[in-house]
Amino acid sequence: MTSSSLKSGDLRKALALCAALSILSGVAAAQTSAQSDSDQLSARRANVFSDRADFSLARSGDARAKLRSFLSARGLDSATLDSLAQVSETADRQGRSFARFEQRIDGLRVHGAYVKAAYDADGALSHVIERTAPAQGRISRALLKPADAARIAIDANFGSGVALPQFKGETGALSQFAKTSFFHQAPSAERVVIAKGARLEEGFLVETWSEKDNLLYHTLIDSLGRVVSNELRTNEDSYNIFPVHPGVSAQTMANGPGSGNAQSPSGWLSGTQKSILIQGNNVRAYLDRDNNNNPDSGGSTITNGVFSTAANLSQDPATAQNQDVAVQNLFYLNNIIHDTLYSYGFTESAGNFQENNFGKGGRASDSVDAEAQDGGGTNNANFATPSDGSNPRMQMYLWTQSSPSRDGDVDSDVVWHEYGHGLTWRMIGSMSGNISGAIGEGMSDVLSIIQNNDDRVGEYAYNNANGIRSSRYSQHQDTIGDFNSSRGVHRNGEIYAATLWDMWQGYQTAGFGEDEIMQDIVSGMNYTPSGPDYFDMRDGLLAAAPSNRDCLIWSAFAARGMGEGGSMTSSVFSIRITESYTVPSACSGGGEPPPPPPEPGAPALTGLTATSVANTSLRWTATMTAHVADENGAPVSGVSVSYRTSKGATGSCTTAASGECSASVARLSSKRDPSISFTVTALDGDTNADGVPQTVTATKP
C-alpha cells in the first residue's frame, strides 16, 4: 500500500510509530548529539584548509571567484559550486573579512552543509571550512506533509499529550503553525535536503520551543518520517549547593551610551520604560516571577533614563526594591556584553542580537528577552538560541542556598556565561552533544573569567568563595585525557576553560591584554567548524591570532594534552583521544615569546587632566581628558585610551584629530564622593606605552 492511499490519521499514526521506533533505538532519545547514519553529512567532519600553499591557485578575480577556483581545485563540481549561496559577510579590526555560505538545491537548504571563507587584509583567500553535498542527482520527495513532521517532532520532544497547533500556511520552504500557550514561539517546519551519501532526499527541520521550561529543539525528520537528529539549543546550568555566609555586592552608578555609540548607534533605550521592564535595541529585560514569560505588572514609570534603585541585599530579592535592581542590573549587563562582543566581531552580519541591524547585514528582530527572577526554577539559569532573526531567551533564577536568597541577575559571571552560549551558537553553530556542548560550557566560563579577571565563576550566586566549578581555574589539574562523557558537559567544559585561563595568564605575562585575547577568541570562531572538538577550537585560535601569539596558544593547549600530534575523534558509540604535550619546534619547547618591541613612533600619553562640574547641590560629574602624541609631539588620532577609576569602573575613549579624548563619571554624590581618580592603563591595548600608567584626580566642585 502506498502512502498516498493512507488516510491522514493513519499516516500520522504510522509516522509516529516510525518516530517511536527511532527513539527506542537510541536515535532521538539523546536530546543533544545522537545522530543516525542517515544524517551522514552533518555527522561528517568538515574539511579545513589553512595552509597558504593550498590557496596558491586562488589569487585572481573577486572574493567569490577566488573561493570558487579553490573549491573547484578540491574536486567540487560546477553544480555544487552553483548551489552555494552567501548569507553573510563581516570584517574584523585587522581588515580581514569572513564570508559564510549555505548550500541550496532546488531552493531548499541542504541540512548541515556550509562553507566559511576567510580573506586576509589584502583580499587573499587564507582559510576555508567546507562541508557540502554533491548537488547532482534527483531529490527524493518526502512522503509526509509539514504537519506530519511537526507532529513527530512534538511527540519526540514533549510527548503525544501536546496538541499540534493549527497549520497557518507555507511561505517558500517554511511552514508555520499557530502560536499556542504551550509554545514560546509558533512551531515551524522547513523543507530541507538531507544528504545520505550520494543520495539526496527531502525532509523537514522542525523547530519547537516550549514556553514553560524554555526547551528549544531543532528536529530533523527524513522523507519517511524518521527522526534523523534532534538538537537541543537551550543551554542550562545547574549547580551543587554548599551554603556559606551571605555576602554583600558593591553597587555603583554607571553610564550607558546615551544617544548612541559605535556598538549601539541608537543607544540602549527605546520605547516606554518601567523599573521592572527596560527595553531597547539589544535587550528587553523584565521581571517574570510568575513564569508566564511575559513582563510582570507593576513597577514605576521611568522617563529620565535614570535607573537608580539601590540594592538592599540584607532583604529578600522579592522585595519591590530588589526587583527593580534585578531588572536594571540585567539590562545593563546584557548591553555591556553586547557592546563588548560587538567590538571584537560579534556584529550584525555575524548573527548578533539586535532589533534593528541598521543595514549592516544579518537578520534583525532578535534582541535578547532577558527574564529576571524567573519563577520557573531556582539555583539555575539558561539561554535558548534560535536562528538569526528570532529572539533568544535568557532566564535568570534566584539562588536559595543562603538566607536571604541571592539573585543571579546581579552576578555578572552568570550573565556573561549565559550570553556566551548565544555567541558560540551563532558564530560557530551546533554547540550540542558531549564534546561541542562541553566546549560551549567552557567557552561561556572563559568570557566570565577573562572579563572579570577572576579564576572563579559564580561565587556570589553560588555562595562559595571558590565558585561553582570543581576547582578554581588557576588550580585546575584536568587535561584532555580526563574527558569522559559520563562526567557531563559542565565538568568536561572545565578542561577548555582551564586551558584558556592558562592562555590568558600567558598573554598577560607576554604583555598582551584583554583586547588582544578577546579579539583572538571571537575572531577564532570564524575559523572554527560547526560542532567543534577541542582541537578545532585550538586551530581556530591559531588561525585568527597574529603569529607572535601562536606560541602562547600552543603552550596553553599542550600543557593540557592538546599539543602537536594530539587528536580527538568521536562516533555515536565512542570518543578516542590521543594526548600530546608537544609544542612546535618554533616555540622552543613551549617557552613564551617576549613581548613585541614597541613600534617606532608609537603613541605616548603626554598629558592627563581632570575637571569637575556640579549638577545639583547633591550630585557632580568628573571628566578626564587624555592627550596623546607621537615621538615628535604631533597629536595622534584614533588611539584607544583604556582607563579605570578609583570606584572600580573601566572603560575607554578614542582620540580625535586633536589627539585628545575624554571620559566622564556622572551623578557622583557630593556627600560620599569628595573625589575620584582616573588611571590610564593602556594605549591601543599596550600597557607599556610611554606615559602609561598615569593617574589624575578630580575633586568635587
- Cβ(396)–Cβ(382) below 8 Å: no
Block residue for cell numbers 538560541: 385
Q: Among residues 130, 190, 201, 418, which one is catalytic? A: 418
The phi and psi torsions of 506 (rounded to 5 degrees) equal -65, -40
DSSP 509-544: HTT--HHHHHHHHHHHGGGS-SS--HHHHHHHHHHH
368 forms bridges with which residues in the sheet? 283
Could you tell me if residue 148 is left (phi over 0), alpha (psi between -120 and 50 degrees) or otherwise beta?
A: alpha
Of the candidates 27, 26, 134, the residue with the CA atom closest to the CA atom of residue 76? 134
Name 373's Cβ contacts closer than 8 Å, sequence gap at least 6: 287, 288, 289, 317, 318, 323, 326, 396, 397, 398, 407, 409
DSSP 571-588: -SS-EEEE-B----GGGG
Cβ neighbours, 10 Å, residue 315: 11
What is the residue whose three cell numbers read 569572513? 98
DSSP letters, 222-276, are: -TTS-EEEEEE-EEEEE-------------------TT--SSSTT-S--S-EETT
Kindly report the three-state secondary structure assignment for every residue of 627-675: EEECCCCCECCCCEEEEEECCCCEEEEECCCCCEEEEEEEEEECCCCCE
Cβ-proximal residues to 384 (8 Å cutoff; 6+ apart), any chain: 209, 214, 215, 216, 233, 234, 235, 392, 393
Q: How far is 436 from 423, CA to CA, in rounded Å?
A: 14
Residue 418 a catalytic site member:
yes
Return the C-alpha cell found at 189. Answer: 517546519
Secondary structure (DSSP) of 291-304: -SSSPPS---EE-S
Which positions are annotated as active-site residues?
418
